[in-house]
């Protein structure tokens, strides 16, 4: 395990990933047999004339961390820091001795309770963790240990290897506002079973160029609510942030994000982004906290089964100026994925304008979470009152746009100080 070959293997893998970090913390997992063999050597030394039994020993993990840390510092100028957002996890394995602790499991009075289970055709054993093994080793007297395991430990034929090597960096977050200028685009990839319903999503359009920039493993787009796939998002756009998992490049310049905005603009993409910027992890809470307080403005194209008189339109608009309290049950169209609840939602304002024939333009400002489509047609009486009720006719929605989401996000001029390491 202390072979420089293994240390160089770790550093080589780190080099290949090209992380732009200046610090890292190293975590080490050792073969379980090492703890048994360490105790075996302690018992041997106590009964020998070497005079080493009382000497303090350095933890093997600390030696490995030092060796890897020195190599990283020498070759890449990466220094060790326990608080770094970059973590190197090294798991050593040694199949030739992985049964050394079995005598502890079979020992009378053992506290180790193992359980074997099968997962995806592979058998796994749990219960014999490092802490469980150390507890049982410490519970053995020297005499009992020597009677159960060889002192010195039996020799091994093959060296240890690096079984697992994980290079993990804390996620970075990029906030902004997106506009959806065409319909039939979902916020995130939309599947029913194995079939994809929409060809394009906001997450695809925004996430892929950012993923290429930061070189992350994956990304997750979180929006301040979401509009249906057939609804456009206009105005200043909908607030969102993108969580980038395990980024290799975390020090992003504002002009690099501006270049992505301009690229989508030049390509005339149906999805545009504004105010892209690095944000702090704690700033993501604004999206969730804003769910209960933000308001939204909508514009809808509405069809009525009969034309409305000027008096009827004026009456509806007067009601709209005073605000309307709705009682909305979970819409039929989403009952398959949302709990059947009744919610009180308030329309802050409403304005109905005639267009031609039986078509009307409806502008609405409402609390977040209001189902606007259902307010228009009533959803078979599940939304009360509805525009159809107020007009005394059958109403249906042809098109819907979100014109504004009143949430101040992303924060202005965020200093992404937490992403420098």
- Give the whole-angstrom CA distance, residue 184 versus residue 229: 5
Rounded percentage of the chain residues whose pLDDT exceeds 90: 77
pLDDT tens digits, residue range 363-404? 999 998 899 999 999 999 999 999 999 999 999 999 999 999
Q: How confident is the model at residue 419 (pLDDT cuts 50, 70, 90)?
A: very low
Nearest to 325 by CA among 341, 343, 311: 343
| Catalytically annotated residue among 228, 230, 389, 396 | 228
Structure confidence at residue 413 (pLDDT): 54
Q: Which of the 8 DSSP states describes residue 141?
A: -
Nearest to 376 by CA among 298, 315, 307, 292: 298
Q: How many CA atoms lie within 13 A of 13 on its CB side?
A: 15
- Give the whole-angstrom CA distance, residue 357 versus residue 363: 18
Instruction: Inform me whether the pLDDT recorded for 207 exceeds 90.
Output: yes
Instruction: Inform me whether the pLDDT recorded for 416 exceeds 60.
Output: no
Instruction: Inform me whether the pLDDT recorded for 137 exceeds 80.
Output: yes
Q: How far does the chain reach from its first CA to its final CA, in angstroms?
A: 29
- Give the whole-angstrom CA distance, residue 326 versus residue 90: 57
Instruction: Inform me whether the pLDDT recorded for 76 exceeds 50.
Output: yes
Q: How confident is the model at residue 278 (pLDDT cuts 50, 70, 90)?
A: very high
- Give the whole-angstrom CA distance, residue 363 versus residue 321: 11
172 burial via Cβ count (<10 Å: 0-12, 13-18, 19+): buried
Q: How confident is the model at residue 421 (pLDDT cuts 50, 70, 90)?
A: very low
Q: How confident is the model at residue 289 (pLDDT cuts 50, 70, 90)?
A: confident
Q: Which of the 8 DSSP states describes residue 186?
A: B
Angstrom distances, CA of residue 288 to CA of 130, 216, 241, 411? 39, 24, 11, 14
Structure confidence at residue 122 (pLDDT): 79
228 is catalytic: yes
207: which 2 tokens? 């996430």
Tokens 């430990």, located at residue: 153
Residue 244 has a CB neighbour count (10 Å cut-off) of: 26
Q: How confident is the model at residue 294 (pLDDT cuts 50, 70, 90)?
A: confident
Q: How confident is the model at residue 114 (pLDDT cuts 50, 70, 90)?
A: confident
Q: How confident is the model at residue 325 (pLDDT cuts 50, 70, 90)?
A: very high
- Give the whole-angstrom CA distance, residue 275 versus residue 418: 20
Mean pLDDT over 275-283 rounds to 96
Instruction: Inform me whether the pLDDT recorded for 105 exceeds 70.
Output: yes
Mean pLDDT over 277-284 rounds to 95
414: which 2 tokens? 């965020």
309 burial via Cβ count (<10 Å: 0-12, 13-18, 19+): exposed
Instruction: Inform me whether the pLDDT recorded for 293 exceeds 80.
Output: no
Instruction: Inform me whether the pLDDT recorded for 415 exceeds 80.
Output: no
DSSP per-residue letters across 183-223: SS-BSS--EETTEES-S-BHHHHHHHHHHHHHT-SEEEEEE
- Give the whole-angstrom CA distance, residue 169 versus residue 22: 12
- Give the whole-angstrom CA distance, residue 209 versus residue 264: 10
Q: How confident is the model at residue 418 (pLDDT cuts 50, 70, 90)?
A: very low
Q: How confident is the model at residue 193 (pLDDT cuts 50, 70, 90)?
A: confident
Structure confidence at residue 54 (pLDDT): 57
Nearest to 377 by CA among 324, 318, 331, 322: 331
pLDDT tens digits, residue range 227-261? 999 999 999 999 999 999 999 999 999 999 999 99
Structure confidence at residue 230 (pLDDT): 95
Q: How confident is the model at residue 417 (pLDDT cuts 50, 70, 90)?
A: very low
Quote the Cα angle for 149-153-159, to 5°: 135
Structure confidence at residue 26 (pLDDT): 96
Crossing angle of helices 130-139/33-46, nearest 10°? 20
For the chain, the average pLDDT equals 92
Alpha-carbon torsion angle 127, 129, 131, 137, nearest 10: 80
Mean pLDDT over 334-362 rounds to 93
């Amino acid at each position: 395990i202390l072979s420089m070959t293994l240390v160089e293997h770790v550093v080589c893998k780190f080099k290949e990933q090209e992380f732009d970090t200046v610090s890292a913390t190293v975590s080490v997992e050792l073969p379980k047999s090492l703890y048994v063999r360490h105790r075996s050597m302690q018992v041997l030394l106590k009964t020998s004339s070497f005079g080493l039994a009382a000497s303090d020993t350095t933890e093997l993990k600390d030696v490995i961390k030092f060796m890897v840390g020195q190599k990283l510092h020498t070759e890449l100028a990466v220094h060790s820091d326990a608080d770094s957002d970059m973590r190197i996890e090294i798991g050593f394995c040694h199949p030739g001795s992985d049964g050394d602790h079995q005598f502890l499991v079979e020992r009378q009075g053992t506290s180790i309770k193992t359980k074997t289970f099968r997962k995806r055709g592979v058998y796994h054993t749990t219960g014999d963790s490092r802490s469980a093994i150390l507890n049982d080793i410490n519970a053995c007297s020297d005499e009992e240990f020597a009677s159960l395991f060889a002192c010195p430990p039996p020799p091994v034929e093959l060296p240890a290897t690096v079984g697992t090597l994980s290079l993990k960096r804390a996620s970075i977050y990029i906030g902004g506002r997106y506009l959806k200028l065409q319909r039939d685009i979902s916020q995130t990839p939309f599947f029913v079973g194995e079939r994809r319903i929409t060809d394009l999503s906001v997450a695809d359009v925004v996430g892929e160029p950012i993923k290429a920039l930061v070189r992350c493993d994956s990304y997750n787009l979180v929006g301040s609510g979401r509009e249906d796939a057939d609804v456009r998002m206009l105005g200043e756009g909908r607030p969102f942030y993108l969580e980038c998992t395990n980024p290799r490049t975390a020090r992003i310049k504002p002009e690099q994000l501006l270049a992505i905005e301009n690229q989508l603009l030049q390509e005339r993409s149906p999805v545009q982004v504004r105010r892209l910027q690095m944000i702090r992890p704690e700033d993501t809470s604004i999206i969730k906290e804003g769910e209960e307080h933000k308001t939204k403005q909508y514009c809808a194209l509405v069809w009525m089964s009969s034309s409305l008189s000027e008096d009827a339109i004026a009456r509806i608009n007067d009601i709209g100026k005073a605000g309307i309290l709705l009682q909305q049950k979970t819409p039929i169209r989403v009952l398959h994925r949302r709990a059947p609840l009744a919610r009180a939602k308030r329309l802050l304002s409403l304005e109905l304008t005639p267009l031609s024939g039986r078509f009307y333009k409806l502008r609405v400002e409402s609390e977040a979470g209001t189902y606007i489509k259902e307010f228009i047609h009533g959803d078979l009486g599940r939304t009360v009152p509805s525009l159809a009720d107020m007009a005394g006719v059958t109403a249906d929605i042809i098109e819907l746009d979100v014109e504004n989401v009143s949430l101040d996000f992303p924060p202005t001029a965020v200093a992404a100080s937490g992403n420098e390491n």
